[in-house]
Amino acid sequence: MGERVSKTFDLFGRLVRKNLWTIVLILAVVGFIALLEEVHEDGLLALDGWAYYLVVLHMRSEWLTPIMQSISELALPVVLVVMLLVVEAFAPGRRPGLCAAVNLALALALNLVLKELVQRPRPEGYRLIAESGYSFPSGHSMVAMAFYGLLVWMVWRYEGDRFVKVLCMSGLSLVIVAVGLSRIYLGVHYASDVIAGFCVSIAWLCAYTRIFVPMFLPEGHGPERRAAQEP
């Protein structure tokens, strides 16, 4: 009995590893659709109210505001161009910088299309910086997840040193979360905008890493390849 249960769990684990990106893609799409439906039906979500209470009312302070502004700027073009040059110089593959640039450009285009389709107004009355355009999904959050998320994937896929891998993936993931949080803190997005942006870019990365990345980067030696080689 115990051996049968163990084999069942092993089989389940192999299936999950082999279909990991499909599972993540489905969850991200479902999450985005759920948020989109709530925005259309109610305008403001309970999530948005809680985020306003916790982040805007209780986190804001004179010393933290300039830090949040600086974090938000990690998704600005000038910073991303510098990061693209770093990727081109140090990442593996034929044209890793071009791979990251195409990913970024397509994610930005997708964000603009979604904003025009949804046309959700930005929060009013408590913005700390000037922003224009629609709110849903958050462009900064989408860019952060699409760009820095691709770097997380590259490290996961190609870095052989476990300590370096964990350190880099943790640092890049922290940047993504911090950029999203900064947009709520600065009052230019609702929490649902930020989470929706994350969901869209996660789904996008699942597709991009399967369809486009093989044209630019080598096969790698990460967990995904090992899972694919399992019987």
What is the gyration radius of the CA atoms in the chain, in angstroms? 19
Which one-letter amino acid corresponds to residue 90? F
- Residues 102 and 170 sit within 8 Å (Cβ to Cβ): no
Render pLDDT for 40-98 as a digit per residue (tens, 0 to 9): 877 677 888 888 989 988 889 999 999 999 999 999 989 999 999 988 888 777 788 88
Q: Could you tell me if residue 3 is inside a domain?
A: no
Q: What range does the domain containing 224 cover?
A: 11-229
In 10 A of CB 101, how many CB atoms? 17
Reported pTM: 0.84
Render pLDDT for 86-141 as a digit per residue (tens, 0 to 9): 888 887 777 888 889 999 999 999 999 999 998 888 888 888 888 888 999 999 99
Q: Could you tell me if residue 5 is inside a domain?
A: no
Which one-letter amino acid corresponds to residue 223? P
| Residue for token pair 């929490």 | 191
- Residues 180 and 197 sit within 8 Å (Cβ to Cβ): yes
The domain total for the chain is: 1
H or E stretch at 87: helix 77-90
Q: Could you tell me if residue 1 is inside a domain?
A: no
Q: Could you tell me if residue 134 is inside a domain?
A: yes
Q: What CA–CA distance (Å, rounded) separates 146 from 13?
A: 27
